[in-house]
Amino acid sequence: MAVTVDDSSTGRVRPVIADAPGSRSWSRAFGDLSQGWKQRALWGHLGWQDIKQRYRRSVLGPLWISISMGVIALGLGLLYSVLFGLPIATFLPHVAVGLLIWNFVSGCTLEGSEVFIANEGLIKFLPAPLSLHVYRLVWRQTLFFLHNLVIWAVLMIVFPHPLGWSLLLAIPAFLLLMLNGGWIAILSGILATRFRDIPPIIASVVQLVFYMTPIVWSVDSLSANAAVAERARLVELNPVFHFVEILRRPLLGEPTIWRFWAVVGVITVVGWAVGMLCLRNYRARVAYWV
């Protein structure tokens, strides 16, 4: 709640935000997540409306999501396959699937930093849990991903890969991506409402991470060169690399590497612990910061 105090240095009365008794409690933080989940009919509808609104009056509508992604994947795949001298049948699916995953990760990260700022009106005038806006964001990015999954299906027809039962691992892999999108949006969204320099900083970092992650290049192609093979292993210091690999490998029928899953599991647990701590301490202040 807001109170006023006298500022002895200026002689003016200034507002100060004071937390209501019990506002900083784990029960309220987890209750926020629970109440937001119970309103899934609302954020599910809002997430779908976001996509329809973006392509309103368009002849093809949401199909533009897949078309634009397909053009970018085709262009980058052809270009880098020629530059690196790699077979298009394996490299184009590698690039396309990497871009599908990257779009989801970057979307949750970039939009997550502004998830509360963008919903300022709803937060101030609609009594709803903060997590509702986070669920809406992750659901919207999930719909984008499912639209773009058509590209993967087409590529698997044109360039068949040995898909097996390991393809089922794509389901828990994507669920892990969704879980991490949640805590990223909570943490960066709350911080960005207090410090408005956070979104442009995150945007710059995300752009840099894209070039550092094997999306349009392949670790295997670098490992073939003994001179850079050891340095190529440094890519595993990039946490996004592990998220990309746990989903890309099942979708391309490549062998599962369990250490990638272990790293993602640790990041998920630590990330949610930090995100929930931030939600517990500052959820009551977001309405005043936005």
- pLDDT band of residue 14 (cuts 50, 70, 90) is very low
Q: Is the per-residue pLDDT at 142 higher than 80? A: yes
The helix/strand/coil state of 87 is coil
The helix/strand/coil state of 240 is helix
pTM of the model: 0.86
> Which of 47-56, 211-220, 224-233 shows the lowest per-residue confidence on average (mean pLDDT)?
224-233
pLDDT in tens, 177-223: 999 999 999 999 999 999 989 999 999 999 999 998 988 888 776 66
> Which of 139-148, 161-170, 223-232, 248-257 shows the lowest per-residue confidence on average (mean pLDDT)?
223-232
Report whether 132 contacts 46 (CB < 8 A): no
Q: What distance lies between CA 33 and its chain's CA centroid?
A: 18
- pLDDT band of residue 251 (cuts 50, 70, 90) is very high
Report whether 202 contacts 209 (CB < 8 A): no
197's CB contacts (< 8 A; 6+ apart) are none
> Which of 23-32, 131-140, 161-170, 195-204 shows the lowest per-residue confidence on average (mean pLDDT)?
23-32
- pLDDT band of residue 16 (cuts 50, 70, 90) is very low
Nearest to 181 by CA among 110, 276, 97: 110
> What are the structural domain ranges in the chain?
25-289
Q: Which of 53-67, 128-142, 230-244 has the highest mean pLDDT?
A: 128-142
Backbone phi, psi, residue 130, to 5°:
-60, -35
Q: How far apart are CA 154 and CA 285, in angstroms?
A: 47
Q: Which residue has the tokens 């970039």?
A: 110
pLDDT in tens, 63-98: 767 778 888 888 888 888 887 788 888 889 999 999
What integer pLDDT is reported at residue 86 of this predicted model? 82
167: its two tokens: 């393809």
Report whether 144 contacts 50 (CB < 8 A): no
